[in-house]
Amino acid sequence: MLVFNSLFKIKKNTNPDVNIDIDGINLANVPQHIAIIMDGNGRWAKAQGKVRTFGHQAGAETLKTIVKIADKIGVKVISAYAFSTENWKRPVTEVSFIMELLSRYLTSEIEEFNRNNVQVRFMGSREGLPEVIKQKMDHAVEATKNNTGIILNLAINYGGQAEILQAIQRIAADTEKGLLKVEDIQAETFENYLYTAGLPAPDLLIRPGGDNRISNFMLWQIAYAEIWTTDAYWPAFTPEMFLQAIKEYQGRERRFGGLVTK
Ligand code: IPE
Ligand code: IPE
Ligand code: MG
């Protein structure tokens, strides 16, 4: 726990020219945007003889901890995959539980978000979501919109393919209306039609739960993200693992298709 304790004593590095190493983390090279596929909740619960839903509850706690630490070290955005467009395939009891958990979370955490200066955003389709969830999502966005700290971008009813399709449909509609010309449809324009408009692309993608796949998460945006996976289930994901992921990220050479000249 040494790493964890010392983190809370540090002052956030606000000067990008200064390289400070805290327990091996270079605060001048922290990923700006970290995407997290919060997987393994059900298996974690099952391993302890509990029902799957117990794991979802525990997973929500992990997220709170990780967001706080991310903010302390200067991460600007966390995009967290909470419910996918494919997760509707699960038994209705599990889906309902997740929706209720979300509903409770969105009420109970607003004060905490404001205390910690966290700005909440959402990405995903609103279609099919219960009315109460949509209202609470709107309220969470409104209540935290002036916060200037970390952005918590929650992916709810999110699918990367669906996101790209809705962007194409809206682009086609705007082109039909004469608001866009075909030659204007460049990468930058396209990105403005994604849920992540205005946000930098993730630098690091973390997937706990032991699977090495993307599961339809941020397909466009993760083009050059560094990927870090662990067998640990999300409810058992620790601050130390999070810092380890960042350390390993910092040791990697990102080439973006080019060559690194040393
Ligand atoms: C991730 O955990 C949360 C959601 C997909 C809602 P899972 O529920 O997928 O847990 P596992 O992967 O079955 O253990
Ligand atoms: C990805 O996990 C979705 C979320 C974490 C919300 P899944 O459990 O749905 O992914 P697969 O089915 O293992 O690919
Ligand atoms: Mg899973």
pLDDT in tens, 196-212: 999 999 999 999 999 99
Average pLDDT over all residues of the chain:
92
Note the pLDDT of residue 21. 46
**Ligand 2 atom 11: the closest Cα is on which residue?**
215
In Å, what is the CA distance from 222 to each residue of 20, 150, 172, 189, 200?
A: 28, 19, 24, 17, 10
How confident is residue 7, by pLDDT bands cut at 50, 70 and 90?
very low
Task: Please indicate whether residue 17 is annotated as part of the active site.
Answer: no
d(C-alpha 6, C-alpha 137), whole Å:
34
Q: Is the pLDDT of residue 9 over 60?
A: no
Measured from the CA of 43, which atom of ligand 1 is nearest? 14
Judged by phi (left if over 0) then psi (alpha if -120 to 50, else beta), residue 202 lies in: beta
63 touches ligand 2 (CB under 6 Å): no
Model confidence, pTM: 0.92
Note the pLDDT of residue 73. 95
Task: Please indicate whether residue 87 is annotated as part of the active site.
Answer: yes
In this structure, the number of other CB atoms found within 10 A of the CB of residue 12 comes to: 10
How confident is residue 10, by pLDDT bands cut at 50, 70 and 90?
very low
In this structure, the number of other CB atoms found within 10 A of the CB of residue 56 comes to: 24
φ/ψ (deg, to 5) at 11: -90, 140
Sketch out the chain's domains with CATH numbers.
Answer: 40-158 (3.40.1180.10)
Q: Is the pLDDT of residue 14 over 80?
A: no
Q: Is the pLDDT of residue 129 over 90?
A: yes
102-117 core/surface letters (b: 16 or more CB in 10 A; e: else): bbebbeebbeebeebe
The token pair that represents 27 in the structure block: 């605060």
Q: Is the pLDDT of residue 228 over 70?
A: yes
Ligand-binding annotation for 214, yes or no, is: yes
Q: Is the pLDDT of residue 108 over 80?
A: yes
How confident is residue 6, by pLDDT bands cut at 50, 70 and 90?
very low
Q: Is the pLDDT of residue 12 over 60?
A: no
Note the pLDDT of residue 23. 74
Q: Is the pLDDT of residue 18 over 80?
A: no
Q: Are 152 and 67 in contact (CB under 8 A)?
A: yes
Measured from the CA of 233, which atom of ligand 1 is nearest? 14
87 touches ligand 2 (CB under 6 Å): yes
Note the pLDDT of residue 260. 84
**Ligand 1 atom 12: the closest Cα is on which residue?**
40
25-49: pLDDT as tens digits = 999 999 999 999 999 999 999 999 9
Note the pLDDT of residue 262. 64
d(C-alpha 83, C-alpha 137), whole Å:
14
